A and B are shown apart, each in its own frame.
Chain A
Amino acid sequence: MRRRAGVGAIQRQKIQQDKFKEKGSEIQENQLEQMTLQMEKFREKLEEFAAKHKTEIKKNPQFRKQFQEMCASIGVDPLASGKGFWCEMLGVGDFYYELGVQIVELCVATSHRNGGVISLEEALRRLNHRRRQDNQISTDDLVRAVKKLRVLGSGMEVVATGSSQFIYSIPGELSMDHTTLLQHAENVGHMTVSSAASNLGWTQERVGRTVDHLLRIGVAWRDDQDRPPTYWFPAFFQQCTTAE
């Protein structure tokens, strides 16, 4: 009787498996090599494109946004490193770095009256007002610059509340409750503890706690000449956001 199993058979099986593995690896390696070559070519083309359209990228917010998206789709982040082709060739890093600095300056300058909450719309308006006509920025630029700042640990972030987006430059974190209440505040302009409680389905105590924190950092102000007291928010008060 022939016996399939046996040391010899096992060894032959192993050799066969190894050969398959080797072939598999070979194929994989080839594929990887191919892919890497393709990516290299693509990257080269992208760099060519960037160099050719450098001026356009710097001056046109729409174009800049599309370029960013194109880069993102192949996993390239022109803002990622401070050195290298992207930063040096394009100065894209510089662009967002400088914008980041301007945003910080704006937030610092206005935080005494809005408590560190400024709408993207107001920030855009004020920043573009200071810039030349051929050097305007878009909302997308702002969001990217703030994201970059956030990575650097500056404590800034863009938060979408309600229908608008805001740049928060408040030291310390804002909890979900804070942002939820602010979202509600943006819609109603001003509120009492009980009106907010019933609108949000919270206890009055929870509203009180949340408002207290916002009062402490100057995001909310209290009006005692209303019965019951009402709470207002400079960041959402039209005359404040449009003031000089």
Chain B
Amino acid sequence: TTTTTMTGFEWPWQYSFPPFFTLQPNADVRRTQLDAWCALVVSWGRNNNVSQIDVTEASSLPVFKNPSISRSLPADSIMVVLEELAKRGNLEWMDKTKRRGYLFWRSPAEWGQQIYTWAQATSHINSVCTLYEISQGDDTINQ
């Protein structure tokens, strides 16, 4: 069984798992835990059109807490997740204070891959395109 909100967003199994809201002590386990957190924040952000995260308000974001099991990710752990997202290219801090960041549902690397694949499919390799052509052109109607 998965819990679904009205918007049809499917929470992963970890979201119902109380220890998911505690950063695990073992490095290997923590790595898979952070993988899951990053994937969750990105997909939740995409689903809810969230493109910016403010660190001071992050604790109130629905993605970081599950009231049905009375668990929420502590502020310092949220910071760890955000830093991890930044490392993976899914978050860009607006300044050195690291108080706000842009959330990218696709990292620049992923966008690069997407664009390259599109370019290959539409024979645009080694030619020059404007951003308009890429995002609005005839070749992109179905992308």
Contacts and interface: CB of A to CB of B under 8 A. Distances in A.
Q: Do A and B come from one complex?
A: yes
Contacts of B14: 113, 240
Contacts of A217: 26
Interface in A192-242: 215-218, 221-226, 230-232, 234, 237-240, 242
Contacts of A230: 18-19
B13 A223 contact: no
B22 A222 contact: yes
A229 B62 CA distance: 24
Nearest to A237: B17
A222 B2 contact: no
B1 A239 contact: yes
Given A113-B32, A222-B19, A232-B17, A239 B25 contact: no
B28 interface: yes
A224 B22 contact: yes
B13 A239 contact: yes
B13 A237 contact: yes
Interface string B97-130: 0000000000000000000000000000000000
B12 interface: yes
Interface of B: 1-2, 12-14, 16-22, 24-26, 28-29, 32, 70-72
Given A215-B29, A225-B22, A239-B2, 5 more contacts: A216-B26, A222-B25, A225-B70, A232-B18, A240-B14
A53 interface: no
B19 A221 contact: yes
Given A215-B29, A225-B71, A240 B24 contact: no
A115 to B, nearest CB: 8
Given A225-B71, A237-B13, A218 B29 contact: yes
B32 A218 contact: yes
B18 A225 contact: yes
Interface string A161-187: 000000000000000000000000000
Contacts of A223: 18-19, 21-22, 71
